[in-house]
Structure 1
Amino acid sequence: MSEFNRIGLVGRAGSDRALGTLKRLINYLQGAGLEVVLEEETARSLSVPDLEVSNNDTLGKTCDLVIVVGGDGSLLGAARSLCRHKVPLLGVNRGRLGFLTDISPNDIEARVEEVLAGKYIMETRFLLDSSVVRQGALVGTGEALNDVVIHPGRFIRMIELELYIDGQFVYSLRSDGLIISTPTGSTAYALSGGGPIMHPKLDAIVIVPMNPHTLSSRPIVVDGNSEIRIVVGEHNRAYPHVTCDGQSHVVTNPGDQILINKKPHKLHLIHPLNHNFYETCRSKLGWGSHLGE
């Protein structure tokens, strides 16, 4: 008997390709005699009768496994909603890049069958919590699997920040912003900003300045348990935004403090047995293959 008997499904809303794959997945899972539960927004898009529908909280509490059909953005959203429940996530790629959603829809039945039979790799990924404090009062929070980004908002303006790590002053910075990334996010926005690729098993955070005024301001990698504090400069003309995974955002004022640290809840991510991080980098980032091939 499979350890996964009650399967939650989350799909990318508005994507015909994702919805088609979801219907195929529902037929397979029901044919295998498993309980299928649809996330409520997915259910509204899918219009499949006679299936149980739940919100994210209930999905996380009652399911043994949640399968996300969509792109990496879909899995990022599911991770933020479900990580506190420790339910494992499995991603089916119906997006573009697919660093996190690594099952191809072409062989979905075979790969899901292997997972249900216990043939899979389980790994954990940590998330970040962020909060904005103004004159001692909390004014906004967010969480991110990829990154927390401090940026000037709609208008491109240089912003001034002070960076502290574990209470120690690191530097003052004039730049277009700052990216604070997990290893999971190191192949996303942080990479385009010149940050290093970090293996997902690393317990580390990378801090990447965006177009810094001083070229000596380079990305730095710190311990994953670091307490990061960023003070928004008093003389900023811009009101920097704090954005988590490109979704939730808080607008700061000069003098505000942005606090970032590791979230206590981790994402449990399932991969097929043939998953290989370096092969994923080769295929997604266009790295060279073996010499002579």
Structure 2
Amino acid sequence: MRSPPVAQEKFRNIGLIARSESEQALYSLRQLIHFLHGRDCTVILDKHIIGNLPEMGLQAASASQMGESCDLVIVVGGDGSLLGAARTLSRYNVPVLGVNRGHLGFLTDILPSEIESRVGQVLDGEYSTEKRFLLDLEVRRGKTVVGGGSALNDIVLLSGDSVHMIDFELMIDGHFVYGQRSDGLIISTPTGSTAYALSGGGPIMHPKLDAMVLVPLNPHTLTSRPLVVAGDSEIKIHITTEKVRPLVSCDGTEGIRLQVDDVIAIRKKPHRLQLIHPPGHDFYQACRSKLGWSSRPGDGS
């Protein structure tokens, strides 16, 4: 495991990840490659998009190989692209930087028009670092583990393709919390609190918080509210519904189909994502910009 870079360290071996189906992302990727070559950087391209840029003559690698060999990985796309990269790269402690070619861009905060200036600052050692924790998922059926995954934003229990509510029991650190009938439950990190959990009525949590929030989805009671728990908590969900086969999904990926008496276990992942930002990054400014919060009179931010 490499140590986190010090502020003066300059990155030389840089991996690039982007959405192959996005022409805008590929356009920015070409711009970024030319800029990095001009800075004498070695560029390694995600093997899934190497076929989209054959004229560049770059070496290809998987995300895992980038984690082992790169000093920095830059993701060009939306937050979804960075979420996918984070689930692989967090274990390698490699810094990750995001260029926004998506929608909100809470995680990918460099605008396409700023690529050369802002990436240049990072290459010169001018950046801040955040450690974001992920969640680990394990699904047990009796004594057998039938599925698992990890999430930077959230793990979501859903009723799947059924219009019926689901029944489940919630345990936190071995303590029974409640039995619930609802459309599901969102278990979110602070990173994910500005995503699906926010749409479900959950609170916005600062990224530095060591906490998780549990947000019920359309509960069949007026007294069920979002619950914030310690980041080191172990969450277990016992599926008690028989009429419906619900799903559990990590960061919106294809879910694991569940059945009655399955137990979902969720806990903090041992490795954290090392997310870096150019100078001047401000979480509250990002909230104002992305969520439409009011600015001070005369302040355009």
Q: TM-score, normalised by structure 1?
A: 0.97
Displacement of 1:76? 0.3
Is residue 2:145 matched to residue 1:144? Answer: no
Is residue 2:272 matched to residue 1:270? Answer: no
Displacement of 1:47? 2.4
RMSD: 1.1
Partner of 1:5: 12
Could you tell me whether the CA contact under 8 Å between 1:149 and 1:243 is conserved in 2?
yes
Could you tell me whether the CA contact under 8 Å between 1:65 and 1:87 is conserved in 2?
yes
2:202 to 195, 199, 204: 195
Deviations 1:147-177 (A, max 9, x none): 0000011122100010000000000000000
Structure 1 letter corresponding to 2:100: N
Cα separation, partners in 2 of 1:21 and 1:292, compared to 1, 3 Å: closer
Could you tell me whether the CA contact under 8 Å between 1:70 and 1:92 is conserved in 2?
yes
Is residue 2:23 matched to residue 1:16? Answer: yes
Partner of 2:289: 283
Name stretches of at least 5 consecutive residues in structure 2 with no aligned partner: 1-7
Identity of aligned residues (%): 57
Partner of 1:232: 239
Structure 1 letter corresponding to 2:193: S
1:216 to 223, 233, 241: 223
1:250 to 236, 252, 256: 256
Secondary structure of residue in 1 paired with 2:276: strand
1:40-55 correspondence runs (5 A): 40-55=47-62
Q: TM-score, normalised by structure 2?
A: 0.95
Deviations 1:243-291 (A, max 9, x none): 0000142111101000000000100001111110001001100111114
Is residue 2:113 matched to residue 1:83? Answer: no
Could you tell me whether the CA contact under 8 Å between 1:151 and 1:178 is conserved in 2?
yes
CA distance in 1, matches of 2:114, 2:151: 30
Displacement of 1:144? 0.3
Deviation >3 Å, runs of 4+? none
Could you tell me whether the CA contact under 8 Å between 1:142 and 1:249 is conserved in 2?
no
Displacement of 1:57? 1.4
Displacement of 1:24? 0.5
Displacement of 1:82? 0.9
CA distance in 2, matches of 1:129, 1:48: 39
Name stretches of at least 5 consecutive residues in structure 1 with no aligned partner: none
Partner of 1:37: 44
Displacement of 1:3? 2.6
Could you tell me whether the CA contact under 8 Å between 1:14 and 1:45 is conserved in 2?
no
Deviations 1:158-207 (A, max 9, x none): 00010000000000000000000000000000000000000000000000
